[in-house]
Structure 1
Amino acid sequence: MGCQFRLISAVAFGASYLVSSGKIVPSWWPIAGFVANFATLWTVQFVAWASWAVILWPKFLSPLRGLPEPTDNSLFHGQFHKIRKLPTGVPMREWINSIPNDGLIRYLGLFNQERLVVTSHKTLAEVLVTKNYDFEKPSTFQFFLGRILGYGILLVEGETHKMQRKNLLPAFAFRHVKDLYPVFWSKSQECVQAMTDHISQDETKSSEDKNTAVIEVGGWASRATLDIIGVAGLGHDFRTIENPNNKLNQTYQNMFSPSRSGKRNLEINEAARVIRATCADLIAEKKEKRARKEQSDVDILSVALESGGFSDENLVDQLMTFLAAGHETTASAMTWATYLLARHPDVQTRLRAEIRAHLPSPAGGDAAVVSSLDIDHMPYLNAVCNEVLRYFSPVPLTLRTTACDTSINGQFVPKGTSVVLAPWAVNKSESMWGPDALEFNPDRWMAKFAGDKDAASGGAKSNFAFLTFLHGPRSCIGQGFAKAEFACLLAAWAGRFEFELNDKEELDETKIKIEDGVTARPAKGLFVKTRVVEGW
């Protein structure tokens, strides 16, 4: 839409100059000054374009008009009223389970702008795999996220993306991630100990139960995951668990908190400056170590440096991506995991029993090392992790724009069409997951409960039913890292603590106000009664 306004303004400016200067004056055109001519020409063009874009194209001319869509559209704003009212991804979840479709659902947004929701195995495979470079992130999306995440692998397109992914893959290789489990566990231990100390020292708790206090879990999760990505990803301990007031943590807290738009731009610009400077310092430190021929570290930054495929500036962008996306997504997963365990005490009790039977206590000190084999041989822990990531995907929705005229499942899709990939919808699609798609059920990932279904896919009919990390060349490169980190952190928390919702109204999911943003979290935080369970 921005480019349309620029074009309209440019045409109005040029025509107004010619008319006002007397170089071109149609006999039927009233002679007026430049400003009046500009205003008149701009308005005429805008009305013509708006009539085309808002009424004629979406209502009468678009090749997408015959696709299934919601019926309760407003005249000029389609489904915008519902999208604005409900959390991101929730309207799509309703539509995917209520509107019969063959892989595509069309809906209209603000000013009747067309959107396509991709809903089936076949259409998802086309968008994410076979034709993935036909679909790019929208420019506005890139601009907004680029300031926060840097222009790293998450945002670049085409050949640049292929090159960056190739050079970064060794850092996320299967064996490399396996070697990082002791780091994940060590930081999980530190977090559990800090939370235990906080509970024992909390002056607001009841004197009757010295082992229980109400804590906001999202903040603790963010502190832990920022430290983990710091050590395992950058080879640097930010010590955020120890000191939540450090500059980097405060920068991210301010960046992801709501604020008025004018002030918001200044906050984001300053935050980006702080984060870029931090990343540049870490790169310089690593390069100095390499120059001294010190033993190479196993963190992601060290592997990326050894590839030789990145300039210092581009490495800064990659680190910004890993820092922000890497810790915020897992922190969101930990927040929702705690919520779901508090809602389902039977799952929590069963999970704690498995953890305590197979893992050393986080209070065991430095000698208590956990390896990938320890975590991988805990089926219920992995089932709970998978089900949390299915049920509450940290990123509820992502957008693509067609970079050229293309087709999806034989349907012609014009260049510039917005395409919606909605994990919060696909992950709960009844056509893919069955009639219990809307239920939290870790057993769907357990072989003995899956029956003749494939437990590795949660019993779903297709791998594309699990959209949390996307698929294909644009899938999350850090998927293995994130799942391993999540499993270690959840094992430490669930083994040590018992969680109970502080606000009983939140037992009803619809009562939780979810903050709109890149990741989904409770808007006012998640406060839970947390009790230290002795004996481990």
Structure 2
Amino acid sequence: MSPAKTLLQGGSFFNGQLKRIQAEPTGEPHRDWINNVPNDGLIYYTSILNEGRLLVTSPQALSEVLTTKSYDFIKPQQLRNGLGRILGIGILLAEGDEHKRQRKSLMPAFAYRHIKDLYPVFWDKSTKLVDGLMSVVRKDGKESVKSIDDAAIVEISGWSSRATLDIIGTAGMGHDFNSLEYPDTKINVTYRDIFSPTPQQRRMALLGLFLPQWFLRALPVAHNNRIVDSANTIKEVSRELIRQKKRNLDSKEKRVDADILSVALESGGFTEEDLVNQMMTFLAAGHETTASAMTWAFYLLCLHPDVQTRLREEIRANIPPIDETETETVTAASLDQCHYLHAVCNEVLRLYPPVPGTVRETGCDTSILGQYVPKKTKILLSPWAINTATALWGPDADRFNPDRWMGPGKANSGGAESNYAFLTFLHGPRSCIGQAFAKAEFACLLAAVVGRFEIKNADEDFKLEIKGGITAKPKNGLTVRIMPVEGW
């Protein structure tokens, strides 16, 4: 390999920077390096067994990896094998021509003209989330939590996850899982288990970096049993919903449903097994990432009550009181009037991208910024680092400042000169197909909750610890004090 001009110094003789990468939250070392290690767009470092990796740090390099040469850079087979057990080999993990085919068939389901028709679904579930939280405050809900006066102490990340699971079920598959009302539904418990990694699961993930999947799957450990059981549950649910939806579409009813599964079925571009894989992808990736964003939003709004107050005032000025509206009255147009709401959402997604990092591997000999990069070289893309790079965002890059998204020309850029400065959804042909869906869902959920409640940290001495994994979240969740605010 022709090494990058910047070779990161230090680390273990045998395992390079692995110890630090494992010890710190996902993306934190890369956030440090991108800001403090002088480089020309690439930083070369070593990891387990001194395997070399390239950290991509500049818009020019990102443009090549994500756009102009995107299909030269594929997801490593170990990653595809591991994630594929839960996510299926859908659009997220497909490669090459198969990915192009899948994306082309699914794009109509994620076009904005279609997403705007889903806003009533998003708002309906947002109001149900508020209703559930209100039942806790009134002490008449099913949750076992501490209630004080006209407020309640709740672990908000669990509520967020259930709300987003119900949304992806309804808007994605035309089926309501009702996990907001019934937290112990089979599908919710399954995902709760999957996204709560055990120490054994983390060790298995590490072993998966250099041991074949067939060997790991044969090991007699509890982790394998959990994954098999979870995958079977998700496949069964997906398959049954697909068959039910197909029966509905084949019936005498000619009405076209608005959910993603209906659009995918009507495209005719997928076999049943293809659709099972897609639904597995959307169920997992489509709810856990937005739930993570919601948790980070509440965390930041607790730290910045002035932002929370300003946001609540805008929501109440533009959206009718939650108890007095039918779901159909809250539309994309009404949410689009809430410019500060979208600024807050974008700033949360910038500072705390739900997926902090992703790995690519060169599928062929190629180059980045004119430097030769041989086949099978690992490439690290770190939204966690890029999104707070001072070279791209200025000296206040690590500060929560929604106003950076306000003003002429800033609503989509945050004032950054390059769109590659915001890497939360990636870019190019492999960018997140559900970006518009996720942003709309996020805005609706946040508007409903902040419009109704004042949110404070339940523990004034709370110290943030970040739990790594596929998504980044506060360790042990986020416990907040919610109090209804009169007038909406």
The two structures have a TM-score, normalised by structure 2, of 0.93
1:106 matched to 2:44: yes
In structure 2, the partner of 1:133 is 71
After superposition, where does 1:104-503 map in structure 2 within 5 Å? 104-201=42-139, 205=146, 209-259=148-198, 260-261=200-201, 262-294=221-253, 295-364=255-324, 366=326, 369-447=329-407, 454-503=410-459
The Cα of 1:368 is off from its aligned counterpart by 6.6
Structure 1 residues 164, 204: closer, same or farther in 2, change over 3 A? closer
Question: How far apart in 2 are the matches of 1:135 and 1:437?
Answer: 28
Q: Could you say what secondary structure the match of 1:519 adopts?
A: coil
Of 28, 37, 43, the match for 1:90: 28
Q: Could you say what secondary structure the match of 2:480 adopts?
A: strand
Q: Could you say what secondary structure the match of 1:265 adopts?
A: helix
Q: Could you say what secondary structure the match of 2:138 adopts?
A: helix
Question: How far apart in 2 are the matches of 1:367 and 1:147?
Answer: 37
Question: How far apart in 2 are the matches of 1:71 and 1:287?
Answer: 57
In structure 2, the partner of 1:49 is none
With 321-330 and 352-361 compared, the bigger mean Cα shift is at 352-361
State the AA in 1 paired with 2:57: T
Contact 2:120/2:327 (8 A) holds in 1: no
The Cα of 1:531 is off from its aligned counterpart by 1.1
Contact 1:393/1:424 (8 A) holds in 2: yes
The Cα of 1:82 is off from its aligned counterpart by 1.1
Question: How far apart in 2 are the matches of 1:129 and 1:323?
Answer: 27
Of 515, 520, 525, the match for 2:477: 525
Contact 1:193/1:363 (8 A) holds in 2: no
Q: Could you say what secondary structure the match of 2:461 adopts?
A: helix
The Cα of 1:489 is off from its aligned counterpart by 0.4
Structure 1 residues 235, 367: closer, same or farther in 2, change over 3 A? closer
The Cα of 1:490 is off from its aligned counterpart by 0.4
Question: How far apart in 1 are the matches of 2:180 and 2:327?
Answer: 20
The Cα of 1:504 is off from its aligned counterpart by 2.6
**RMSD value, Cα:** 1.4
State the AA in 2 paired with 1:63: S
Question: How far apart in 1 are the matches of 2:346 and 2:277?
Answer: 30
Q: Could you say what secondary structure the match of 2:477 adopts?
A: coil
Question: How far apart in 2 are the matches of 1:443 and 1:312?
Answer: 46
The Cα of 1:85 is off from its aligned counterpart by 1.0
Q: Could you say what secondary structure the match of 2:297 adopts?
A: helix
Question: How far apart in 2 are the matches of 1:203 and 1:173?
Answer: 41
Q: Could you say what secondary structure the match of 1:528 adopts?
A: strand
After superposition, where does 1:13-32 map in structure 2 within 5 Å? none
The Cα of 1:63 is off from its aligned counterpart by 2.1
The Cα of 1:335 is off from its aligned counterpart by 0.4
With 453-462 and 228-237 compared, the bigger mean Cα shift is at 453-462
Contact 1:150/1:318 (8 A) holds in 2: yes
The Cα of 1:199 is off from its aligned counterpart by 1.9
Larger radius of gyration: 1
1:80 matched to 2:18: yes
The Cα of 1:73 is off from its aligned counterpart by 2.3
Q: Could you say what secondary structure the match of 1:419 adopts?
A: strand
> Larger relative contact order (C-alpha < 8 A, sep ≥ 6)?
2
Question: How far apart in 2 are the matches of 1:86 and 1:159?
Answer: 37
State the AA in 2 paired with 1:272: A
Question: How far apart in 1 are the matches of 2:9 and 2:194?
Answer: 38
In the alignment of these two chains, the number of paired residues is: 464
Question: How far apart in 2 are the matches of 1:135 and 1:440?
Answer: 32
Structure 1 residues 368, 314: closer, same or farther in 2, change over 3 A? closer
Q: Could you say what secondary structure the match of 2:380 adopts?
A: strand
Contact 2:34/2:57 (8 A) holds in 1: yes
Q: Could you say what secondary structure the match of 1:221 adopts?
A: helix
Q: Could you say what secondary structure the match of 1:457 adopts?
A: coil
The Cα of 1:71 is off from its aligned counterpart by 2.1
Contact 1:69/1:99 (8 A) holds in 2: no
Contact 1:405/1:415 (8 A) holds in 2: yes
Contact 2:120/2:328 (8 A) holds in 1: no
Q: Percent identity among equivalent residues?
A: 56
- In structure 2, the gaps of 5 or more residues are 202-220
Q: Could you say what secondary structure the match of 1:180 adopts?
A: helix
Q: Could you say what secondary structure the match of 1:485 adopts?
A: helix
Question: How far apart in 2 are the matches of 1:441 and 1:204?
Answer: 33
Contact 1:361/1:368 (8 A) holds in 2: no
The Cα of 1:203 is off from its aligned counterpart by 7.4
Contact 1:188/1:362 (8 A) holds in 2: no
Question: How far apart in 2 are the matches of 1:246 and 1:75?
Answer: 48
Question: How far apart in 2 are the matches of 1:467 and 1:211?
Answer: 40
Question: How far apart in 1 are the matches of 2:6 and 2:457?
Answer: 40
The two structures have a TM-score, normalised by structure 1, of 0.85
Structure 1 residues 129, 167: closer, same or farther in 2, change over 3 A? same
Contact 2:150/2:484 (8 A) holds in 1: yes
State the AA in 2 paired with 1:165: R
Question: How far apart in 1 are the matches of 2:68 and 2:327?
Answer: 48
Question: How far apart in 2 are the matches of 1:80 and 1:226?
Answer: 34
